[in-house]
Structure 1
Amino acid sequence: MRLYDVIRKYLLPIVALVGAVLFVAACGEQRVGLGEFSQKVYAPRYAVGFEIVGAEGHASTILLSHNPWQGAEDVQTALFIAREGEQPPAGFTGQVLRERAERIVCMSSTHVALLDAVGAVQSVVGVSGIDFVTNEYVAANRDKVRDVGYDNSVDYEMVVALDPDVVLLYGVTGASVMESKLRELGIPFAYIGEYVEEVPLGKTEWMVAIGEIVGRRAEAEQLFNQIPERYDALREMAAAAATPKPKVMINTPYADSWFMASATSYVARLIADAGGDYIYKKNTLNSS
């Protein structure tokens, strides 16, 4: 058999088959544009600091955090939660979490409480200031849950050793000091800005965002949906109580300063809903 006939009979079909496989693979890896992630997966009823979006035909979602610290304006951070092997959309520059978080470092004790609320507190492997975390699971598992430090004293070797799927951050008057180092280490992070919410139910609704991170959003939604009616019943009970309303002051002096929550904060709203009179009404900004 001539060489030409051998090539035509055996080699060309193989080349065509390989080309077809590569073409199909390339099509399968084609990434959607960021603009396609505009479908509302979860639109909060009370919270204004987060939303969850997705794209038609895709299992992955993006958790968006809006103005996640005091004084923030037009700040948005994003966590892409990749599912079923999907890749982040073209043009996405935020953080990426694969599937769901099963190992989490919490930089605020409220993050621990939210994880506990959605039944995922066992995912906590690290906290900031363990002596100030009043959670039963953390207290009973100090051999498993490690203290990673705080502010400029974070033990990054400890953070790396804990091998977290995600670190939950918060900012005070700006981005967390941990952000740049976590980027350098390749450890995903997400901002949980529940404390900036102006109404207590908005703060509580962040359990849905936490549920999305740990793969328990449906359960978190179901739990949260039971809360507003009970809360409103208690608020109405307090409103019907005898007057005058008790005057309420919060916090204690720290480093020659006395930090008072804004009159528009969830703390002030919580006091009012409980039938109290918050005495510090001068500050109406979104910062203490």
Structure 2
Amino acid sequence: MTKILYKFTGNYSAKVLLMLQNKPILLLLISTFFFLNCKEDKGISVKLPPLDNVKNSIAYAEGFNITNHSNFSVLEVNNPWPNAEKAYKYVLISKENAAKTSFMKDEYDGIIITPVKQIVVTSTTHIPALELLNEEATLIGFPGTDYVSSEKTRQRIDNGSIRELGKNEGLNTEVLLSLKPDVVIGFGVDGTSKSLNTISKANIPVIYNGDWVEKSPLAKAEWIKFFGALYNKTKEADAIFLTIETDYKAAQKLAKTVNNRPTVLSGAMHKDVWYLPNGTSTEAQFLKDANVDYLYADTAGAGSLALSFETVFEKAKSADLWLSPSYYPTMDALKQANTHYTQFDAFKNNNIYTFANTTGNTGGVLYYELGLARPDLVLKDIIKICHPELLPDYKTYFFRPLN
């Protein structure tokens, strides 16, 4: 099986993260919102009769599916954001077949010519899929290029091959329109965006990507098949995901062999509220699969838990480990923020670990870029921290001890 390679810079900075972990505002900070549109073809008027169709195998992801017809495929995104009321359908078709095939305008939300030659993506989580599929050269624009950590893509940004598109909250539509991408991959929390209204009028198709809405690590990683369909690389995407899935399950099985389950605390205070993952979150799933005792594993909810300091201290004072203490880069910074943090055993014993300091050259946090695509690495990191004897030669990829 082919080994998956993904190179990053080794320069770790203490830059304060813009995106705060385990906080409801995370959704706002990672958002660029796109309204769907399609490239209109004046000749599209005849509804195509039903053809034999075969659905691609999607094992974990619930937010999309792909149906293969004889000369085109249909990509359906049915959960682009929480509680979405509409499913979006896109035709994926070759240039040759598009010239001789007609579709009803109102039946689909976009007609995409594949393989895609030029693309704009709007989240750092989309970039690993392009690189794993060896299609990073098709990326021509991105909003917030400083947040990109990948060494390979950073080089293309630095040499001008990838244009800066401004902030997620307001894309530089003038620059984006001048690039004339084949498709824009966006994400949103409600499907509204002034920027996309402008792009829609220019007939540039936009596809929502809902990987972040998925409920499990492997479900999020399976969205590489979404990108595989855009590049006519379904087999390659399947093989990459199979490798990730196999590695993840092997690590999960290894973690089950230990009886000692250290207690784990997560998150930190923001103003007067301590935010930490609820027991049904993806973060909690990692901790469960790493066979540790997450102190809030029995909770549930749609967002982060929001508790008082006193409530957390009473339950987690003696926790063995403290993972992901928000954006704090050092022990001293944690102490300066709230001296009461020093009363936790994990602080006293220097057992606090963060991914906040593992960044690219311009401060982009590697975890926020690659963690979603490579849950196998995240899981092995946590196992290494919590059960170091199981992976004696493994070096953590994202997490480091808080300095």
Q: TM-score band (shorter)? A: 0.7 to 0.9
Give the structure with the higher percent helix: 1
1:282 Cα offset (Å): 7.5
Residues 264 and 88 (structure 1 numbering): CA distance in 2 closer, same or farther, change over 3 Å?
farther
Counterpart for residue 206 of structure 2 = 189
Q: Aligned match of 2:130 in 115, 118, 121? A: 115
Give the conservation status (yes or no) of the 8 Å contact 1:167–1:188.
yes
Counterpart for residue 376 of structure 2 = none
Residue ranges of structure 2 left out of the alignment (5+ in a row): 1-44, 305-403
- Separation of aligned partners in 2, 1:252 and 1:125: 39
Give the aligned residue type for 1:141. R
Work out whether 1:64 is the aligned partner of 2:76.
yes
SS in 1 for 2:225: helix
1:278 Cα offset (Å): 4.2
- Separation of aligned partners in 1, 2:227 and 2:272: 36
Counterpart for residue 89 of structure 2 = 78
Q: Higher relative contact order at CA 8 Å, sep ≥6: structure 1 or structure 2?
A: 2
1:24-103 correspondence to structure 2 within 5 Å: 31-33=47-49, 36=50, 39-55=53-69, 58-69=70-81, 71-83=82-94, 84-86=96-98, 87=101, 89-90=103-104, 91-103=106-118
Counterpart for residue 249 of structure 1 = 266
- Separation of aligned partners in 2, 1:259 and 1:94: 38
1:261 Cα offset (Å): 4.5
Work out whether 1:135 is the aligned partner of 2:150.
yes
Residues 269 and 60 (structure 1 numbering): CA distance in 2 closer, same or farther, change over 3 Å?
same
Percent of aligned pairs with the same residue? 24
Give the aligned residue type for 2:138. S
- Separation of aligned partners in 2, 1:89 and 1:249: 51
Residues 44 and 139 (structure 1 numbering): CA distance in 2 closer, same or farther, change over 3 Å?
same
Counterpart for residue 166 of structure 1 = 183
Corresponding residue pairs, total: 253
- Separation of aligned partners in 1, 2:52 and 2:65: 11
Cα shift readout 1:193-242 (whole Å, capped 9, x = no counterpart): 11111111111111111110122111111222223222111012122234
SS in 2 for 1:241: coil
Residues 283 and 151 (structure 1 numbering): CA distance in 2 closer, same or farther, change over 3 Å?
farther
Residue ranges of structure 1 left out of the alignment (5+ in a row): 1-28
1:185 Cα offset (Å): 2.0
1:79 Cα offset (Å): 1.9
Q: Aligned match of 1:267 in 260, 283, 296? A: 283
1:258 Cα offset (Å): 6.3
- Separation of aligned partners in 2, 1:59 and 1:200: 33
- Separation of aligned partners in 2, 1:76 and 1:38: 22
Give the aligned residue type for 1:230. D
Give the aligned residue type for 2:291. G
Give the aligned residue type for 1:108. S
Cα shift readout 1:96-146 (whole Å, capped 9, x = no counterpart): 211221211111001011111222112111112111111122211111112
Structure number with bigger Rg: 1
SS in 2 for 1:59: coil
Structural RMSD (CA) = 2.6
Give the conservation status (yes or no) of the 8 Å contact 1:246–1:275.
no
Counterpart for residue 317 of structure 2 = none
Counterpart for residue 383 of structure 2 = none
What's the TM-score once normalised by structure 2's chain length? 0.57
Counterpart for residue 331 of structure 2 = none
Work out whether 1:234 is the aligned partner of 2:248.
no
- Separation of aligned partners in 1, 2:268 and 2:181: 33
- Separation of aligned partners in 2, 1:111 and 1:45: 20
Give the conservation status (yes or no) of the 8 Å contact 1:247–1:276.
yes
After the TM superposition, which of the residue ranges 236-245 and 44-53 deviates more from structure 2?
Answer: 236-245
Residues 283 and 161 (structure 1 numbering): CA distance in 2 closer, same or farther, change over 3 Å?
farther
After the TM superposition, which of the residue ranges 80-89 and 210-219 deviates more from structure 2?
Answer: 80-89
